[in-house]
A and B are shown apart, each in its own frame.
Chain A
Amino acid sequence: MAAKKSQQFQPVETLHAIEEKFEMVQILNEEGEIVNEEADPKLSDEDLQELMRRMVFTRILDQRSISLNRQGRLGFYAPTAGQEASQLASHFALTKDDFILPGYRDVPQLIWHGWPLHQAFLFSRGHFMGNQMEEGLNILPPQIIIGAQFIQAAGVALGLQKRKKEAVAVTYTGDGGSSQGDFYEGINFAGSFRSPAIFIVQNNQYAISTPRELQTSAKTIAQKAVAAGIPGVLVDGMDPLAVYAVTRDARERAVKGEGPTLIETLCYRYGPHTMAGDDPTRYRTSDTDSEWEKKDPLIRFRKYLEAKGLWNEEKENEVIEQAKDEIKAAIKKADSAPKQTVTNMLEIMYEEIPFNVQEQLDIYKAKESK
C-alpha cells in the first residue's frame, strides 16, 4: 500500500505560489507599444529624447570600444550592447546625490553619472588616473570581485541613512553574481537595517559560458529578495520605460525610509563576456542571438519615439556623430596621460608613508631620475 500523502504541508505548492508572484513588469513591447498604460512613468518629451540619446550614444561607445580594444588602444573591456535599457534607464531614475557601486560591465552608468570618458578609457587600459574620482562624484571604480559591490552598497546605504541624506546606494551585478555569498549578505544587511539601497541584477542569461539555469533552480532571481525579506521585482530589461519605472519606484521607497529593493532586469548581451578571448559561439546559438536581437531596447524605443514624433534618423545620426567625436577626443586625452611609475604606485598606498614604502620610494625615485 502506498504511503499516505501528508496533508500537513505543501512545500511544492508553496514554492510555485511564490514564483507566480514574480511576474515580469513590461511597459513597452517589442513593437514599441505601451502595453501597461497604468505603469507608464509618463516621462516628459525631453526626458524621453535624452534617454534615447544616452542609449544610442552608449551603443556607439560599445562598438567603438570593441574596435579600439581590437586595435590595442583599449585594454580590459566588457561589452554592453543589449543592456542599454537595463543600464541607462535604471541610471536615469537616479540623482547626482545617489552613490553607484558598479560591476565591471557597468561603465556606462558611471559615465552618465559624471565619470569623464577619458578616465573610463584609462580604467580600461589600467592607469591609476582613470580611477581618481573627483570630489562629489558619487561612484566607485568598476568592481572586479563579483558580489563585493553588494555588501559595500549595504554600507554606503547605511551611511546615507545615518547622514539623513535623501539619496540611495545603487549597485549592479549579473545573473552569475547572484550565486555569491556577498550577494545574499548584501541584500540581507540592507534589509536588516532598512537602508536605502537598490540592488540590480542584470540577468543577461550567461555568466561567461554558464547559462542562467545552471546558477540556481530558482525560477527568477528577483524572488531571492524573499530570503532577505525585501521587495523583489522582475522587469523586462530590454524595455527602458519599465526599467526606469521600477527603479524610480524603488528609489522613492528607499528615500522614504522603506528599505531596499532587489530588481532583476531580464536582458541579453549581444557581444562576448569580455574582449579577453571569450567566444560566445562556443556556448550560444545564433537562433538565441537573433531571438534577443528582436527585443533590442533601441529598436522598440525608437519605434515608440518615432510614433510620438520625438525621434528620427537625423536626430539619431546627430547623436552618433557626437558620440564618435567625443570618443575620439577622449581617447586622445587618455593618450596624453603620463606614463605610470613605481613611485606613483608607492605614493598612493597610504596617507602616511610607512618605513618600508619610504625606503622603496627612495630607491625608485633614484632609478626613475636616471
Chain B
Amino acid sequence: MAQMTMVQAITDALRTEMKDDENVLVFGEDVGNNGGVFRATEGLQKEFGEDRVFDTPLAESGIGGLAIGLGLQGFRPVAEIQFFGFVYEVMDSISGQMARMRFRSGGSLNSPVTIRSPFGGGVHTPEMHADSLEGLMASQPGLKVVIPSTPYDAKGLLISSIRDNDPVIFLEHLKLYRSGRQEVPEESYTIPLGKADVKREGTDLTIIAYGAMVQESLKAAEELEKEDFSVEVIDLRTIQPLDIETLVASVEKTGRAMVVQEAQKQAGIAANIVAELMDRTILSLEAPVLRVTAPDSIFPFSQAEQVWLPNSKDIVETAKKVLTF
C-alpha cells in the first residue's frame, strides 16, 4: 500500500496496464515527454518508450480518429482529451463512431478505447475547461461513462476501463487530482464498471452523487448527523450504466432520496436517476426525490465559481427539505 493522490493513482493504473498489456498505447496533446498538463502520464514515455506513449498534433478530432484506427489494428488506445470542454471537437469520433463500432459492424469489430479527460470546477480555470458534459456522453448508447472520486476508485476503475473491450469515457475531476491522499494498493486490482459504492451508511436519507459532489455530500452528511439525521451517501462511480440495484436497495431502506451533481439542472444525469427511482421505488418514498445542481447558465466566469457551484451547504439545505417533507 502507498499513500497516493488521485492523479498518482491514475498514473499508477496506466503504468500497471502498460506493463501488463503491450497493446496499451497512451497518446494525446503533451502526454509524452511533458508527462501531461497535470502530470497524469509523468514518466510513462521514459519507461515505455515513444512507440507506446506519444504526443499528437493539436487536434481532438484527429486524436479520436487515431484511437479508432489503432483499435482496429488490435491496439488498446488510452487517448487523452486535454480538457473535456474540448470534447465538442471530437463528438463525432466518440458518439458518432467509436460508440457505434461494435453495433454498426454487427458485432464483428470493436473500439476498445478509453478516453481520459479532466473536467470540473473550483480551481478557477479559463473558459471551457471545467464544464460538466458527462450528460452528453451518458445519453449516447454504446458508451460507458466513469467518474471516480477517490484515488482508490480511480485506479481500479481505470484499469477496468482500459481492459473493457468497448469504449469508456473516464472523466477526472480537476479539483480531486490532488485534494487528498488515500491508501492505494501497489498491485493491479479492478473495480467493476457499473457498480456504485456506498461511501457512508445511513438510514434516513440516500444522497446519490458523483465526482466532486461525493466529498460535498459526505461533508453534508456529517453536518446532518449533528442534527441526528442518518444519511447514506452513494458514489455512483459509473454514471452510465447506472447501478440500479444499489440505488434501489438504499432508497427502499431510507425512504428518502436526493441526487447531487455539479452540472446544470438541465444537464448531467440527475434527472435520469430521479426517473429510475420513480419507476422502481415510488411505493417506498416518503418524499419527492429532489436534486442539487448548478443553475442553468453557462459555466461561470471563474470569479463567480464560488456562488455558482453546488456545495455542502446546498446539499444540507435540500436534504432538510426532503427529510422534513
Known: A159-B75, A349-B142, A355-B244. A181 touches B106 (CB 8 A): no
Residues B102 and A349 in contact, CB atoms below 8 Å apart: yes
User: Interface segment, B37-45, B64-72, B200-208, B284-292?
Assistant: B64-72
Residues A355 and B241 in contact, CB atoms below 8 Å apart: yes
- Residues from chain A with a CB closer than 8 A to the CB of B293 are none
Residues A151 and B64 in contact, CB atoms below 8 Å apart: yes
Residues B66 and A158 in contact, CB atoms below 8 Å apart: yes
Q: Is A132 close to B, CB under 8 A?
A: yes
Residues A345 and B103 in contact, CB atoms below 8 Å apart: yes
Q: Is B188 close to A, CB under 8 A?
A: no
Residues A148 and B166 in contact, CB atoms below 8 Å apart: no
Task: Give the residue of A159, A181, A355 whose beta carbon is less than 8 angstroms from that of B72.
Answer: A159
A130, A347, A355 — most chain B CB neighbours (10 Å): A355
CB-CB contacts below 8 Å: B52-80 with A: 56-57, 59, 61-62, 64-75
Residues A182 and B69 in contact, CB atoms below 8 Å apart: no
CB-CB contacts below 8 Å: B211-267 with A: 241-245
Residues B56 and A189 in contact, CB atoms below 8 Å apart: yes
Residues 129-162 of chain A, each 1 if its beta carbon lies under 8 Å from chain B, else 0: 1111110000011000100101111111111101
| A95 to B90 alpha-carbon distance, docked (Å) | 32
Residues B65 and A148 in contact, CB atoms below 8 Å apart: yes
B92 CB to nearest A CB, Å: 6
Q: Is B107 close to A, CB under 8 A?
A: yes
- Residues from chain A with a CB closer than 8 A to the CB of B166 are 350-352
Q: Is B93 close to A, CB under 8 A?
A: yes
Task: Give the residue of A133, A153, A188 whose beta carbon is less than 8 angstroms from that of B105.
Answer: A133
| A186 to B68 alpha-carbon distance, docked (Å) | 12
The main secondary structure of chain A at its interface with chain B is helix
Residues A189 and B59 in contact, CB atoms below 8 Å apart: yes
Q: Is B165 close to A, CB under 8 A?
A: yes
| A158 to B75 alpha-carbon distance, docked (Å) | 11
Residues B75 and A131 in contact, CB atoms below 8 Å apart: no
A132, A156, A185, A345 — most chain B CB neighbours (10 Å): A185
B107 CB to nearest A CB, Å: 4
Residues A348 and B69 in contact, CB atoms below 8 Å apart: no
CB-CB contacts below 8 Å: A334-370 with B: 345, 347-352, 354-357
Task: Give the residue of B75, B93, B241, B245 whose beta carbon is less than 8 angstroms from that of A151.
Answer: B93
Interface size class of chain A, counting residues whose CB lies under 8 Å from the partner chain: 35 or more
A141 CB to nearest B CB, Å: 6
Residues B72 and A348 in contact, CB atoms below 8 Å apart: no
B146 CB to nearest A CB, Å: 12
- Residues from chain B with a CB closer than 8 A to the CB of A348 are 102-103, 106-107
| A192 to B245 alpha-carbon distance, docked (Å) | 48
Q: Is B51 close to A, CB under 8 A?
A: yes
Chain B residue with Cβ nearest A134:
B108
- Residues from chain A with a CB closer than 8 A to the CB of B244 are 355-356
Q: Is B194 close to A, CB under 8 A?
A: yes
CB-CB contacts below 8 Å: B143-193 with A: 144, 164-166
Task: Give the residue of B62, B69, B103 whose beta carbon is less than 8 angstroms from that of A169.
Answer: B69
Q: Give the size of the chain B interface in residues (CB under 8 angstroms).
A: 44
Chain A residue with Cβ nearest B73:
A159
Residues A145 and B92 in contact, CB atoms below 8 Å apart: yes
Residues A351 and B59 in contact, CB atoms below 8 Å apart: no
| A357 to B142 alpha-carbon distance, docked (Å) | 10
- Residues from chain B with a CB closer than 8 A to the CB of A357 are 241
A347 CB to nearest B CB, Å: 7
| A354 to B141 alpha-carbon distance, docked (Å) | 11
Residues A151 and B66 in contact, CB atoms below 8 Å apart: yes
- Residues from chain A with a CB closer than 8 A to the CB of B144 are 354
Residues 156-176 of chain A, each 1 if its beta carbon lies under 8 Å from chain B, else 0: 111110110000010000000
A76 CB to nearest B CB, Å: 14
B21 CB to nearest A CB, Å: 14
Q: Is A199 close to B, CB under 8 A?
A: no
Residues 179-202 of chain A, each 1 if its beta carbon lies under 8 Å from chain B, else 0: 001100110110010000000000
Known: A133-B108, A162-B51. A351 touches B57 (CB 8 A): no
Residues B103 and A151 in contact, CB atoms below 8 Å apart: no
Q: Is B125 close to A, CB under 8 A?
A: no
Residues A131 and B105 in contact, CB atoms below 8 Å apart: yes
Residues 114-136 of chain A, each 1 if its beta carbon lies under 8 Å from chain B, else 0: 00000000000000111111100
Residues A159 and B70 in contact, CB atoms below 8 Å apart: yes
| A129 to B243 alpha-carbon distance, docked (Å) | 32
Q: Is A99 close to B, CB under 8 A?
A: yes
| A185 to B244 alpha-carbon distance, docked (Å) | 41
Residues A158 and B70 in contact, CB atoms below 8 Å apart: yes
List 16 additional contacts besides A151-B65, A152-B65, A351-B166; criterion CB under 8 Å: A145-B97, A151-B61, A151-B69, A154-B69, A155-B67, A155-B68, A156-B70, A156-B72, A162-B70, A186-B65, A192-B57, A345-B103, A350-B142, A351-B102, A354-B144, A355-B244
8 closest cross-chain pairs (CB), A and B: A155-B69, A151-B65, A159-B73, A132-B106, A354-B241, A185-B62, A156-B69, A348-B107
| Chain A interfacial positions (CB closer than 8 Å to B) | 99, 128-134, 140-141, 145, 148, 150-160, 162-163, 169, 181-182, 185-186, 188-189, 192, 345, 347-352, 354-357
**15 pairs of residues in contact across A and B, judged by CB atoms under 8 Å:** A132-B107, A133-B108, A133-B109, A141-B105, A148-B93, A148-B97, A154-B69, A155-B66, A155-B69, A155-B71, A163-B73, A188-B62, A349-B141, A350-B102, A355-B243
